[in-house]
A and B are shown apart, each in its own frame.
Chain A
Amino acid sequence: DADVTQTPRNRITKTGKRIMLECSQTKGHDRMYWYRQDPGLGLRLIYYSFDVKDINKGEISDGYSVSRQAQAKFSLSLESAIPNQTALYFCATSERRPNTGELFFGEGSRLTVL
């Protein structure tokens, strides 16, 4: 089983719908992240959390919200999906100490907004 699990893996939805992407991890890491990946733009950070009580915006947080329900769970919500939020979304974790720069990614959630 994967250490970082994302659900759903694929989702097609319509403009205006609320969507939640869920992430759970068994690595015991404190730090969790949500990224989106678009062709030609690379991975961009949406939100990150260093522990259950800590939530921080990344570079492209507009239109998104997150919830850190427990150390192992970090969910991403699109309150009202729009077509330019069509992308591949990755959840990731990392160790608090030391910071080696290694992120452990989930397998990705491909979202299509029509």
Chain B
Amino acid sequence: RKEVEQDPGPFNVPEGATVAFNCTYSNSASQSFFWYRQDCRKEPKLLMSVYSSGNEDGRFTAQLNRASQYISLLIRDSKLSDSATYLCVVNQYGGATNKLIFGTGTLLAVQP
């Protein structure tokens, strides 16, 4: 079982739609969680951190469910510019290092 699993998609949605992605992680000791965005043929960039109480940044809402070991990303009022791959990232603390585990990503294609 992969340490971080995501539905690869693609999710094809019309402009204005609401879309949600889930991500599950296997290590219950994971302590920090993030969503990164990667445009086609570009580098990943941090979209937002995921806090235990849930957090919102404009049209984006991230939630964490520790009991079920999953995190989610909700995008409201989708824009064409939201088309990208969304990477779920989990930070595990162990010894002297912090280890970031990346999911394989979920591809979102917003259609006009």
User: A residues within 8 Å of B by Cβ?
Assistant: 40-45, 48, 50, 56, 90, 99-103, 105-108
Contacts and interface: CB of A to CB of B under 8 A. Distances in A.
A99 B98 contact: yes
B87 A103 contact: no
Given A41-B104, A43-B102, A100-B49, A105 B43 contact: yes
Contacts of B87: 42-43
A102 B46 contact: yes
Given A42-B87, A42-B105, A43-B87, A101 B100 contact: yes
B34 interface: yes
Interface residues of B, number: 22
The 4 closest A-B pairs by CB, nearest first: A105-B43, A42-B104, A43-B102, A42-B102
A101 B49 contact: yes
A42 B97 contact: no
Nearest to B43: A105
B44 interface: yes
Nearest to B102: A43
B98 A90 contact: no
A105 B91 CA distance: 17
10 contacts: A41-B104, A42-B4, A42-B87, A42-B102, A42-B105, A43-B102, A45-B99, A101-B89, A107-B43, A108-B41
Contact of B43 (A40, A90, A99): A90
A66 to B, nearest CB: 16
Nearest to B99: A45
Contacts of A41: 104
